[in-house]
């Protein structure tokens, strides 16, 4: 898709956002506040530090697992999915 | 897989905020070749945020918050190579005195230039991450790695919608995105005002700005601010914006708890005593959909530590800064430092230090004669004095007080990555772990993806308090031998 | 009150230098005999080698002899302790898979396994199909391997805490931050007094369980112990779904342990943990700088990390895009003849050693403690103490009437 909006999906739901946004920005702009479940408590997380330091905003997109949504630019056709962190604590 | 490509330059500047940009320009101006490395998509660091959407996309006025033209040249200078979306994951000094920096690309590699449209919209970039060299050798290094925000935990701080103040500012400036529509800005320090003002201008209802430091503490130092008319004007501008948008500012108050189902919906505001302990009976709740918190900054020391540079613990904050001499040389020959990593002082001080560090590195490499160095940096060095004094003033005016230890409850999250509970820290200390490293081993604090960037200062302060030991004697979580998560094939040298 | 401000008692029935796994297990064993035990450590407890290892309890990497006897006895003790407390320290009887790359290695491995089996170890040879079934994500093309069901893993720091808790339950345990600086020898009227930076403590039994610092401690206390720090590296990955079921390592690991030279020895060791991370080792060299010895701490060596990453990817190809989030070094207490040192010091009365376990300290700790307690009390021991005796290093003195060399 060309033009000034990018089409993507989040957990299968079609969305779109202005071209140039990060995945995190696009999700927030689309009213989504959390896209990750923590490993031990299954609790929701979204953006916390916004600058790539905290790794709270991890999201799955396409074949990439647990990438920082606040840093990664959104691309046309991105299939963004909730990152359910694997493994369990203790 | 192709074998790792190699690259060399006179100087490696790590960090492309004002300090790094200034250092690169100064060094290049004296004839040095510079590789400027930054993990972000464009130059500017945290303070000069590019509008990722292009000029007219509604993210504030065109060029708002963008890099000043005098620094923008760094991205185009013929002796400066800018590696964007690139992180240093390891660095060491080799026997010949050169420094070897190992580099990694972004979490998701950019597509090849001839492939589908990338669409980042950032015109001021360098080489796309992932296509650059995997190893960089340089004869000198300038550390301009900046600072992260200091955050303090309270019940519910891990709910979606609770972010740092810096995150709110970054999202707004770079993408015109807001996290919430009815928000509180809470914490301590000069960042609260610009963030709240920016949000208010963008149409967000800022219910209040809460500064934990009591008004009379600020008043005690008010007279000293008079020596910085530029700063006062800046602050007055933000204050005027807040007044215009009817945003109340409450000193001696803080958000001490949040709750909600799946996201923050209500925040508890308490009045604080002079030690930041919540005053009984003063709690009241506000309906909000975002809370932005900040308690100042913590210099990002991990690369400095890896290179062996000495640092100094802050007397009362759980932070430390790289130690430098008057020429911004660190304790390791050939490594210089500038900007917030040397001590939190703001963008202008960072830029001044950057120029000085770049010149100092050039002198170290023999590209600038010592006599010329002294002459050329005289004004710079004289301007650094007031900058240092201003940083000290901010420290005095916004002291961190220990009463925040009363905000978390036993099951409040202490380490966000590993979901360690607050009570586990106390239990670990009671079991005999009297330093940060032992507590980490028993509780997993600091063992997650972020490797203690967020919880490190929290745990250091809490362990020192629980063990009854000075802050500087319990260790910290600033050391990170792998500076950022990096794929094993990159470590193997085959990526 | 925390360890930081606990005062040093003036007397104890036993004082143990080193609050790591071996010190903690020794404290439990001596407290069980009714003794009042004081454990001292100059830095945070479990902050030494115990805090840097993978927490393995292995029989697979011990060759028949005193080493394996101690390991088998220790495994029994671990299982007994874990039956009641194992959940506290993530005890997992996961089993070990040792991998051979080619037929020559496989033949040697199976031969070694046969000898171990004859000495009481449970082990099954694995052909290529058996190996793939045991660990489906291993690289194809490996010749085979051996499966050791008795190998276990624990969270080492928590396991040390659990042993200290056991010592406390027996009564009379104190833990204090203090650094041993000397020993006032036993006189006709008084037991030895350990001199520390926080005062003196008189105790008839002083145990050197200071891990890689044991050689230094021995020197300070008037003796000599050929234990030196052998550095290891570990890479830790991001948390992953559980795809590696056992501790998996290359068969040249045992040879790496047994090397005497100063050359870097890397041998792949890969295992999952309860928290989801995968630990990647192993390396052995005598470089770096032991913390707390005044030398500047040396960060992990990128070349070593690179070698370990390569070997791990060669075993488990899926690891190539998995991210490492952390790396750290630890220092194993390596004894000159590759056997632990357990028993009375030949020169200094009242001084005992429990050290030199190289990379097997977690696994061997309970049997070490049990053996030492038996030696001190003169009671029968499950394992023959002689091969571990510190006297084996003593240079025979000039002929003196009545002296016996051991």
Structure tokens at C376: 């001190």
CATH 3.40.50.620, domain C1-93+151-226+336-406, yes or no? no
Strands B34-37 and B6-14: parallel
pLDDT tens by residue, C369-381:
999 999 999 999 9
- Quick one: three-class SS letters along C336-390? CCCCCEEEECCCCCCEEEEECCHHHHHHHHHHHHHHHHHHHHCCCCCCCCHHHCH
What integer is the mean pLDDT of B11-33?
A: 97
Which backbone phi and psi does C63 adopt, to 5 degrees?
A: -90, 155
Residue B261: count of CB within 10 angstroms of its CB: 8
Chain C: touching chains (3 or more CB pairs < 8 Å): A, B
Q: What is the mean pLDDT of residues B474-491?
A: 94
- C237 has a chain A CB within 8 A of its CB: no
State which residue of chain B sits closest to A53, comparing Cα positions. Answer: B450
- pTM of this prediction? 0.91
Least CB-CB distance to A53: which of B118, B168, B453? B453
Q: Is B92 within 8 Å of C237 when comparing Cβ atoms? A: no
Instruction: Please state the rounded mean pLDDT for residues B40-54.
Output: 87
Those chains having 3 or more beta-carbon pairs within 8 angstroms of chain A are B, C
**Which of C363, C354, C359 lies closest to C332 in space, CA to CA?**
C359
The answer for residues whose C-beta is within 8 angstroms of residue B284's C-beta and 6 or more apart is: B268, B269
C275 and A86 within 8 Å at the Cβ level: the answer is: no
Cross-chain Cβ contact B438/C51 below 8 Å: yes
Which residue in A has a C-alpha nearest to residue C89's C-alpha?
A90
- Whether B170 sits inside 8 A of A20 (CB atoms) is no
Query: In order of start, what are the domains of chain B with their CATH numbers?
Result: 6-148+298-394 (3.50.50.60), 151-295 (3.50.50.60), 405-473 (1.10.10.1100)
The interaxial angle of helices C156-170 and C361-377, nearest 10 deg, is 20
Q: Report residue C74 as tokens.
A: 């220790």
Q: Kindly identify which residue of chain C lies nearest to residue A40, measuring between CA atoms.
A: C275
The answer to whether the Cβ–Cβ distance between C328 and B481 falls below 8 Å is: yes
Asked if C262 and C228 count as a contact pair (C-beta separation under 8 A), the reply is: no
Tell me how far CA of residue B182 lies from CA of B185, B240, B264, B290, in angstroms.
Answer: 10, 20, 11, 7
A57: contact with B, CB 8 A cutoff? no
Chain C, 82-101: which have a CB under 8 Å from a chain A CB?
90
d(CA B407, CA B151): 13
> Nearest Cβ partner of A67 from B108, B149, B174?
B108
Distance from CA of C58 to the nearest CA of B (A): 22
User: What pLDDT shows up at residue C47?
Assistant: 77
Instruction: For residue A81, give the nearest of A8, A1, A7 by alpha carbon.
Output: A8
Three-state DSSP state, C41: strand
Q: How far apart are the first and last CA of chain C?
A: 45
Closest by Cα among A27, C326, A48, A69 to B148: A48
Q: Domains (ranges, CATH) in chain A?
A: 5-84 (3.10.20.440)
Q: What percentage of residues in chain B have a pLDDT greater than 70? A: 92
Is B329 buried (19+), middle (13-18) or exposed (0-12) by CB count in 10 A? buried
Q: What is the DSSP string of A69-85?
A: TTTSBP-TT-EEE-EE-
Q: How far apart are CA B77 and CA B25, in angstroms?
A: 8
Q: Do A25 and B164 touch (CB under 8 A)?
A: no
Decide if C305 touches A, using CB distance below 8 A.
Answer: no
Q: DSSP assignment of C273-322, as one string?
A: -TTS-EEEEEEEBS-S--TTSSSPPPPPPHHHHHHHHHHHHHH-GGGGGS
The nearest CA of chain A is from the CA of C332 a distance in Å of 26
Q: What are the chain A neighbours of C242 within 8 Å (beta carbons)?
A: 87
pLDDT for position C295? 60
What pLDDT shows up at residue B60?
43
Q: Which distant-in-sequence residues (6+ apart) come within 8 Å of B283 by Cβ? A: B256, B257, B268, B269, B270
User: Closest Cα to residue B125, out of B107, B139, B106?
Assistant: B106
B119 contacts A20? CB cut-off 8 A = yes
Neighbouring C-beta atoms of residue A15, cutoff 10 Å: 19
C87 CA to chain A: closest CA distance, Å?
9
- Nearest Cβ partner for A72 among B107, B121, B262: B107
Average pLDDT over residues B410-437: 94
- Which pLDDT does position C345 carry in this prediction? 96
Half-sphere exposure of B353 (CA within 13 A, CB side): 34
CB contact under 8 A, C161 and B442: yes
In 3D space, the residue among B10, B9, B12, B20 whose CA is nearest the CA of residue B42 turns out to be B20
Three-class SS state of B167: helix
Q: What integer pLDDT is reported at residue A87 of this predicted model?
A: 55
Q: Which two tokens stand for residue C168?
A: 């406390």
Torsion sign (Cα): C312, C317, C320, C325? negative
* Alpha-carbon distances of B493 from B5, B420, C302, C305, rounded to whole Å: 10, 34, 10, 10
**Burial class (CB within 10 angstroms; exposed 0-12, middle 13-18, buried 19+) of C226:** middle
Tokens, residue B168: 């709110």
Class of the domain covering C94-150+228-333: alpha beta
Question: What is the secondary structure of B370-434 as a DSSP string?
Answer: HHHHHHHTHHHHHHHHHHHHHHHHHHHHS---GGGGGSS-TTSEEETTTTEEHHHHHHHHHTT--
Q: What is the pLDDT of residues B127-167, one digit of tens each?
A: 444 457 789 999 999 999 999 999 999 999 999 999 999 99
Cβ-contact C137, C316 below 8 angstroms: yes
**CB nearest to A86's CB, from C90, C274, C276:** C276
Does C44 contact B at CB distance below 8 Å?
yes
CA distance B17 to chain A (A): 13
Please tell me the predicted confidence (pLDDT) of residue A89.
42
- Which residues of chain C are under the pLDDT cut of 50? 1-3, 400-406
Q: How many CB atoms lie within 10 A of CB C292?
A: 15
Supply the angle between the helices B192-201 and B229-244 in degrees, to the nearest 10.
40
CA distance B438 to chain C (A): 6
Helix, strand or coil, per DSSP, at residue C80: helix
**Confidence (pLDDT) at C45:** 75
- Taking an 8 Å cut-off on Cβ atoms, the answer to whether C239 and A87 are in contact is yes
Taking the C-alpha atoms of C10, C12, C16 and C22 in order, what is their torsion angle to the nearest 10 degrees? -150
Token code pair at residue A79: 């299939």
Please give the residue of chain A at the shortest CA–CA distance from B107. Answer: A67
Q: What are the C-alpha distances in Å from B366 to residues B7, B338, B370, C113?
A: 21, 20, 9, 63
Q: Test B120 with A73 for CB contact under 8 angstroms.
A: yes
Judging contacts by C-beta atoms under 8 Å, the chain C residues touching residue B100 are 302
Average pLDDT estimate for B436-464: 95
Preceding amide of B409 cis, omega within 30: no
Q: Where are the domains of chain C?
A: 1-93+151-226+336-406, 94-150+228-333
Which of C42, C232, C299 should be substituted to probe chain B, the one whose Cβ sees the most B Cβ atoms within 10 Å?
C299
Which of C90, C239, C274 lies at the smallest CB-CB distance from A86?
A: C239
Rg (CA), chain C: 21
Segment A37-76, tens digit of pLDDT: 999 889 999 999 999 999 999 999 999 999 999 999 999 9
For residue B210, pLDDT over 50 is answered with yes
Q: How close, in Å, is residue A67 to chain C by CA atoms?
A: 11
Residue B124: predicted pLDDT: 28
DSSP-assigned letter for residue B17? S
Q: Which residue has the higher pLDDT, B414 or C172?
A: B414
Q: How far is B404 from chain C (nearest CA, A)?
A: 22
Yes or no, beta carbons of A20 and B166 under 8 Å apart: no
pLDDT, chain B, mean: 90
Kindly tell me the sign of the dihedral angle through the C-alpha atoms of B277, B282, B285, B286: negative
In this complex, which of C158, C164, C324 lies closest to B488 when CB atoms are compared? C324
Q: Is residue B58 very low, low, confident or very high in pLDDT (cuts 50, 70, 90)? A: very low
C-chain CB neighbours of B485 within 8 Å are 238, 323-325
**Residue A2's pLDDT band (cuts 50, 70, 90):** low
- β-bridge mates for residue A5, sequence order: A18
* pLDDT value for A21: 95
Q: What is the ipTM of this complex?
A: 0.94
Is A65 an interface residue toward B (CB < 8 Å)? no
Closest alpha carbon within chain C to A38: C239
């Amino acid at each position: 898709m060309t033009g000034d909006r990018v089409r993507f999906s989040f957990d299968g739901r079609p969305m779109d956002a202005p071209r140039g946004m990060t995945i995190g920005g696009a999700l927030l702009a689309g009213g989504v506040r959390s896209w990750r479940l923590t490993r031990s408590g299954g609790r929701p997380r979204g953006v916390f530090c916004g600058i790539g330091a905290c790794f709270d905003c991890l999201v799955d997109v396409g074949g990439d697992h647990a990438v920082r949504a606040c840093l990664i630019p959104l691309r046309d056709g991105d299939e963004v999915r909730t990152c359910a962190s694997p493994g369990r604590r203790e | 897989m192709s074998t790792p490509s190699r690259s060399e330059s006179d100087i490696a500047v790590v960090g492309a905020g004002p300090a790094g940009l200034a250092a690169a320009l100064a060094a290049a101006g004296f004839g040095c070749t510079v590789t400027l490395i930054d993990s972000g998509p464009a130059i500017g660091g945290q303070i000069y945020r590019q509008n990722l959407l292009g000029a007219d996309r509604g993210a504030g006025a065109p060029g708002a918050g963008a890099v000043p033209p005098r620094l923008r040249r760094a991205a185009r200078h013929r002796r400066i190579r800018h590696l964007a979306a690139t992180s240093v994951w390891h660095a060491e000094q080799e026997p010949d005195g050169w420094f070897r920096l190992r580099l990694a690309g972004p979490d998701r590699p950019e597509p090849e230039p001839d492939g589908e449209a990338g669409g980042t919209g950032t015109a001021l970039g360098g080489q796309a991450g992932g296509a650059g060299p995997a190893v960089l050798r340089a004869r000198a290094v300038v550390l301009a790695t900046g600072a992260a925000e200091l955050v303090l935990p309270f019940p519910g701080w891990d709910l979606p919608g609770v972010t740092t103040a810096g995150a709110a500012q970054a999202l707004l400036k770079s993408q015109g995105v807001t996290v919430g529509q009815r928000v509180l800005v809470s914490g301590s320090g000069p960042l609260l005002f610009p963030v709240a003002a920016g949000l208010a201008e963008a149409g967000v209802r800022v219910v209040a700005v809460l500064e934990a430091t009591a008004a009379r503490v600020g008043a005690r130092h008010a007279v000293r601010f008079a020596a910085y008319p530029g700063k006062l004007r800046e602050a007055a501008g933000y204050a005027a914006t807040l007044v215009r948008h009817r945003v109340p500012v409450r000193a001696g108050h803080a958000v001490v708890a949040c709750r909600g189902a799946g996201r923050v919906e209500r925040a508890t505001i308490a009045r604080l005593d002079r030690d930041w302990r919540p005053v009984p009976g003063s709690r009241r709740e506000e309906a909000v959909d975002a809370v932005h918190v900040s308690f100042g900054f913590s210099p990002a020391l991990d690369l400095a530590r890896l290179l062996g540079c000495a640092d100094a613990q802050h007397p009362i904050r759980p932070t430390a800064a790289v130690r430098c001499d008057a020429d911004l040389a660190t304790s390791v020959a050939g490594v210089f430092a500038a900007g917030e990593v040397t001590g939190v002082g703001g963008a202008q001080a960072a830029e001044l230090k950057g120029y000085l560090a770049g010149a100092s590195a050039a002198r170290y490499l023999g590209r600038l004669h010592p006599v010329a160095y002294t002459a050329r940096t005289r004004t710079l060095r004289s301007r650094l004095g007031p900058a240092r004094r201003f940083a000290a003033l901010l420290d005095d005016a916004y002291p961190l007080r220990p009463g925040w230890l009363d905000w978390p409850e036993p099951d409040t999250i202490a380490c966000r990555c590993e979901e360690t509970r607050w009570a586990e820290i106390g239990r670990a200390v009671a079991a005999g772990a009297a330093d940060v490293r032992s507590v980490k081993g028993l509780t997993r604090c600091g063992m997650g993806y972020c490797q203690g960037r967020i919880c490190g200062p929290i745990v250091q302060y809490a362990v020192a308090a629980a063990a009854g030991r000075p802050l500087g004697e319990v260790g910290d979580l600033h050391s990170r031998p792998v500076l950022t998560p990096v794929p094993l094939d990159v470590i193997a040298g085959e990526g | 009150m925390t360890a930081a401000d606990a005062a040093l008692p003036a007397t104890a029935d036993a004082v143990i230098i080193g609050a790591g796994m071996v010190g903690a297990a020794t404290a439990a064993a001596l407290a069980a005999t009714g003794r009042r035990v004081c454990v001292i450590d100059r830095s945070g407890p479990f902050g030494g080698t115990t805090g840097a290892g993978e927490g393995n309890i292995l029989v697979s990497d011990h060759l028949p002899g005193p080493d394996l006897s101690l390991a088998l006895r220790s495994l029994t003790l671990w299982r007994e302790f874990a039956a009641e407390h194992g959940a506290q320290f993530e005890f997992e009887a996961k089993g070990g898979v040792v991998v051979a790359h080619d037929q020559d290695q496989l033949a040697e491995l199976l031969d070694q396994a046969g000898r171990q089996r004859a000495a009481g170890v449970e082990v099954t040879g694995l052909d290529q199909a058996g190996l793939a079934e045991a660990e489906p994500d291993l690289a194809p093309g490996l010749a085979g391997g051996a499966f050791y069901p008795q190998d276990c893993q624990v969270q080492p720091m928590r396991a040390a805490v659990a042993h200290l808790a056991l010592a406390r339950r027996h009564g009379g345990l104190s833990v204090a931050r203090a650094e041993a600086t000397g020993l006032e020898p036993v006189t006709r009227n008084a037991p030895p007094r350990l001199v520390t930076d926080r005062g003196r403590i008189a105790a008839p039994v002083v145990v050197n369980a200071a891990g890689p610092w044991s050689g230094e401690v021995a020197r300070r206390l008037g003796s000599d112990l050929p234990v030196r720090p052998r550095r290891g590296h570990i890479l830790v990955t991001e948390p992953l779904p559980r795809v590696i079921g056992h501790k998996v390592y290359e068969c040249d690991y045992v040879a790496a342990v047994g090397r005497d030279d100063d050359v870097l020895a890397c041998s792949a060791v890969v295992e999952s943990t309860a928290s989801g991370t995968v630990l990647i080792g192993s390396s052995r060299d005598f470089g770096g700088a032991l913390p707390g010895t005044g030398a500047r701490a040396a960060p992990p060596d990128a070349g070593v990390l690179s070698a370990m990453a390569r070997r791990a990817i060669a075993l488990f190809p899926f690891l190539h895009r998995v991210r490492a989030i952390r790396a750290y070094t630890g220092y194993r207490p390596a004894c000159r003849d590759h056997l632990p040192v357990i028993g009375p010091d030949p020169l200094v009365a009242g001084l005992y050693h429990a050290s030199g376990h190289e990379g097997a300290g977690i696994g061997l700790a309970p049997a070490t403690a049990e053996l030492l307690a038996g030696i001190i009390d003169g009671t029968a021991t499950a394992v023959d103490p002689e091969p571990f005796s510190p006297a084996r290093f003593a240079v025979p003195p000039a002929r003196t009437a009545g002296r016996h060399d051991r």
